[in-house]
Every structure is written in C-alpha cells, then in structure tokens.
Chain A
C-alpha cells in the first residue's frame, strides 16, 4: 500500500517520535534548578489521551488515502484541534499544579518541535488544498485562531513564558515601538533613494554596473561590522555639530542603525527595480512611445505597473531583512526586540530570549505574507511575469 502522502506521513511519524522522546513541559521548583521534563502521555488524563491518540491514528490512516478537498479540510480541523489542545493542556496543567511559591512551568523543546512539525504539516496540507495565496493565509489564520485566543486569555498565565511577558510588559512594548521605528525609518529613507537609483541604473548602463558593484560590496560586509564602522564617524560628527546630537544623531542609538540598515536595504530594492524595468519588452515601450506617450506617461502608466510585482518582491525581501538586522542593532543601543533577546542570552534566561525572538519571527513572517499577497494582487493577470508562490 503506497502512501499517497509521503510528506505528511514522514512528518507525522516524526511527531510521534517527538511525543515519545522529547519533554513537552518542564517543571522546576524554582528559577535556579533544572526543570524535569513531562512527556506527552504524562500531561493527559487517561480518557483524554485515548481520544487524542485516536485522532492521531485517524490522521495517520488518512495519509494513505487520496485526499480530496473535504478530507483535507477535515485534516486541517484535526490539526487545529490537536494544536490548541496541546497548548490548553500545558496551560491547564500549569494552572492546576501552580502553588503560591515559585514553581516554574516552562514549555520545553518537545513543545516547540511539535508546534513546528504541525506547522509544516499544515503548510503541506494547505499546499494540496489550493493554489491561491489568500486562501492559504486565511485558512492558516483560522487554524491558529484558537491558540491565539488562548494566549490572550488568562488560561496560559502560569506558563513561565507568559509570566515573563507580564513581568516585562512595558519593556516589551517599548521594544516593539523601537523596533518598529527602526524598520519604519529604514523603509522611509530607502524607498525613494532605491527607486531613484534603480531608475538611474536602468537608463545609464555603466553607472548601473558600478552602482550594483558598490551596493554588492556593502552587502557582503557583516552587519555588525557596518554598525561598528559607523559608530566612530557618527560620534565624531555629533561632537563637531552638537545640534546633530540634539536631534538624535549620535554615535550610538538609532542613527547608526538606520544609516547602516538603509545601506543594506538598497541592494535588494535597487536590484528588483532594475530587473523589473529590464523585463519590460522593448516593443511595449516602442509601442507606447510611438503612440504618443511622453516619458512621464510612459513611466507611470506602463513601466511602473508592469514592474510593480518584481519591485514589491524586492521590497519584501528588504523589509524582512531589515526586521532581522534590527535585532543586531540592539547591540549599539538602538533597542528593539534584540535588546530583550541579548539580555536573555546574557542572563541565561531562555524565556526572555524567546520573548525577544518570537515576536520578530512572527513579524517577519507576517510582513512576508502581506507582501506576497500584494505581489499577487499587482500581477494584473500578467502571465509574462511569474512569481513563485509559497
């Protein structure tokens, strides 16, 4: 009996192994001591476990059969149930066994691995279900809705991660604002410069070559090196012109971060503008000019709409990259989620580290999906420009 869904089958078998061998919840009497791992079976009461196992067995069987849309939707439903159930059980266990003293319930690696693997299976199922991106995203959000609701309720309050969050809520909020500001400022400065540069490189080939070479050179520099190189010149500058320091351009902080980020962000956007403009067939431009469009009309009515999907993909890459690089900017005093992460690293507090990392990951993925949606929308039914879909 050949498995019709080897991918799902393989991932599923891995999840079974994880359930058996990796701890889901870690219990520690206090902050200092190492947590004891609780496994999947330890968390569930007897009858609940039977139901859970039965569901999983059904899932397993289904992978051997042909899956039409209804069955795929059912499978997605089961995934949603299993996932939310897992979170609920952990939260519930923590709640039931919490006492007044400092017992810590932390989500262990098993939990995260399971979440990741189920996430993969959801993606694979969605892939088989539909081609349309917006459908995939909407269904995905529906699946994860129960978990999100759980996290916003009070049920999860006894998990160490959430406790850490509540303890540092204002820091968290500030980090969010800082991170957002860094990325926002970067976007604000990069876009006009990059688009202008890209258009320039397109019309002047020699300039284009040198420009791309220089930008490529900047891109190879490690981010921390670029930050480091900017520190001294900027602080010198702000010493010479004190008003710069007044408006916030100092040796450390947001200024060097944004400047470095803008320099890094130029390449993906300029390259995408260049590619997008180059892909427009010369005959289309000839026809437009021959019919009597001015250069201005040509640019705005023809060139930009036709190049838009590719330009958007370049901006997408740039913003996701900027979100990641902004984490490193925390090292030079720019704040953001990187600051939380590095503090967690320094104090060996995994929860704090996760608190810094998870929002960034979610942010990066959300922005990525948003831009992919925009790209699909801007495609205008144009078959000549194909963008690989997730």
Chain B
C-alpha cells in the first residue's frame, strides 16, 4: 500500500543537495564511534589537560577496538538468540492451540521486566562461573522479555476487518500468517527487539564486573582505581555504540514501515 507519496515528493526536492545516505544521523554516529575507538590514544594531550593529576590517562590494557568487537559480539549474539526464541515463543503463544498460555507468558514478561538486568547477571554468575557464559545467559534471558511482549502485542493487533477480508478471499491459515499477520506485526516486533538490544548494550557493559572483556572494563577499572579518565573513555564509546545501534534500528524501522 503506497502511503508515502507526499514525503517522497518532498525528498525529491532535497535529493539534489545531499545523497540520501549522508542525511542519516546513523552515518555521523557511526563515524564518531569509529573515530573515538580507533584514535582515542591520540587524544592523550586533551585528556592530560583535563586530568593533570593522573599518571596514566589513556586506557591501554586492551585496544578499544578489541573491546568494541568483544562488546558488539556479545550484544549481537545474545540479540539474535533472544530474538529467535522470543519471536517464536510469541508466535506459538498467539496461536489457537496454545492461546491459554498467552496470559501467563505475558505476565512473566511483565514481571520479569521489573527486575533490574544487573540482578539476572549477578545471579547467573555464581551458578555458571565467571566469564562469558553467565553474561550470555543473562543477556538472552533478560532480552527475551521485551521481545516476547512486543511479539504478542504485535500479533494480537490485527484489525478485525483485515482478518475477515483475508478469510473472505480464501487464504489458508499459513498464507494469512505470512502475508497478513506478520507484516502488520513487524514494526511492533522490531521495536521490541530494538528496546531489548539497547538494554543489552548497557547490561553487557556491566558484565565486566563478572570478568568479561567489554567496553565496561575501562569504566570498572577506572572506578576502582579512581581514574576518571578511563571511566570517561569507556562511557563515551559505549554511549556512542548505543546511539549508533539505535539509529540503525530507526533506519530499519522506517524501511519496514515504508514498505507497507
């Protein structure tokens, strides 16, 4: 259904001035992120002036690039796993055979989100040992909840008229699902995945406290060593990472909505 003719007309006016991709904030946040990640050591002079009392000003134990990669790997892998499980669970629970489970699953997802994500991390660590394992478990488990919630909401919101007309045309259940339900639910599901992933970025940073090497490591080391420069560096990069990922999702969501 073409719904955005007008805005495309407006865009034509602007396209002469900027190529499309350059107008997105995603490009700028990505550039800032990579700039800080790769060239942080070159800012040593700047940090020395801000923190004249510190001996070591730039976090040197691991390169920021490695930290970034490790962080991103964790976030991405947990996001993929929890998205798959969450969406599938959400789909199952909105089907007729399992509809009785919907209420309790929704309730668990709602209650679970009142827990602070740190708590899940803290409980997982002693059980499975320290390292990446508890982090991934906590990230997946906690990340499931918003995704399940949004999948259920998205799939339950198909307007009645659409359902009736689809049945009237003679669609089978499967076709109805693929061509009607899923596309209509996609924006909501996507926003749930977005929320979950952004939270995960923060939780992964905290996972440094259980021995995982992430962008939170400079922050933690800085905090325990009273080195605010480290803290600042870690905070800047992880903040930029979160913004970049958020912008990427924003772009994705716009594309999905425009295609309807």
Contact = CB atoms under 8 A, between A and B. Distances in A.
A338 B117 CA distance: 12
A341 B122 contact: yes
Interface string A255-299: 000000000000000000000000000000000000000000000
Contacts of A228: 219, 222-223, 231-232, 234-235
A109 interface: yes
B238 A331 contact: no
A323 B206 CA distance: 17
Interface string B199-215: 00110011001100000
B239 A332 contact: no
B119 A357 contact: yes
Interface in A210-241: 217, 219-229, 231-232, 235
Interface stretch (B2-10, B100-108, B252-260): B100-108
A327 interface: yes
Interface in B71-129: 100-101, 103-104, 107-108, 110-111, 114-119, 122-123, 125-127
A109 B209 CA distance: 22
A353 interface: yes
Given A324-B116, A325-B116, A327-B118, A224 B206 contact: yes
A229 B229 CA distance: 10
A209 B27 CA distance: 22
B123 A353 contact: yes
Contacts of A219: 198
B236 interface: yes
- What is the interface of chain B mostly: helix, strand, loop, or mixed? helix
A83 B200 CA distance: 34
A178 interface: no
Contact of A323 (B50, B116, B235, B238): B116
Interface string A306-329: 000000000000001001110110
A197 interface: no
Contact of B115 (A120, A348, A364): A364
A228 B224 CA distance: 12
Contacts of B64: none
A226 B117 CA distance: 16
Contacts of A360: 115-116, 119
B135 interface: no
B59 interface: no
A342 interface: yes
Given A229-B232, A328-B206, A331-B220, A356 B122 contact: yes
Contacts, number: 135
Given A6-B100, A232-B50, A360-B119, A222 B202 contact: yes
A296 to B, nearest CB: 37
B243 interface: yes
A345 B210 CA distance: 8
Given A228-B235, A331-B223, A320 B103 contact: no
A353 B115 contact: no
Interface size range of chain B in the complex: 35 or more
B243 A221 contact: yes
Contacts of A325: 116
A35 interface: no
Given A220-B246, A229-B236, A341 B119 contact: yes
B119 A361 contact: yes
A323 B114 CA distance: 9
Contacts of B238: 222, 224-225
A385 interface: no
B132 interface: no
B89 to A, nearest CB: 14
A92 interface: no
A364 B122 CA distance: 17
Contacts of A338: 118
Contacts of B219: 224-225, 228
B146 interface: no
A224 B235 contact: yes
B118 A328 contact: yes
B187 interface: no
A120 B108 CA distance: 8
A126 to B, nearest CB: 10
A365 B232 contact: no
A169 interface: no
A42 interface: no
Given A331-B223, A361-B119, A225 B114 contact: no
A224 B116 contact: no
Given A221-B243, A223-B202, A229-B235, A365 B123 contact: no
Interface of B: 50-51, 100-101, 103-104, 107-108, 110-111, 114-119, 122-123, 125-127, 198, 201-202, 205-206, 209-210, 216, 219-220, 222-223, 228-229, 231-232, 234-236, 238-239, 242-243, 246
Nearest first, the 10 A-B pairs at minimum CB distance are A324-B116, A222-B202, A228-B235, A225-B235, A228-B231, A225-B239, A364-B114, A350-B126, A220-B246, A357-B119
6 contacts: A228-B231, A228-B234, A324-B114, A328-B116, A357-B122, A360-B116
Given A221-B242, A324-B117, A327-B118, 7 more contacts: A109-B127, A222-B239, A228-B219, A251-B228, A324-B119, A345-B125, A348-B126
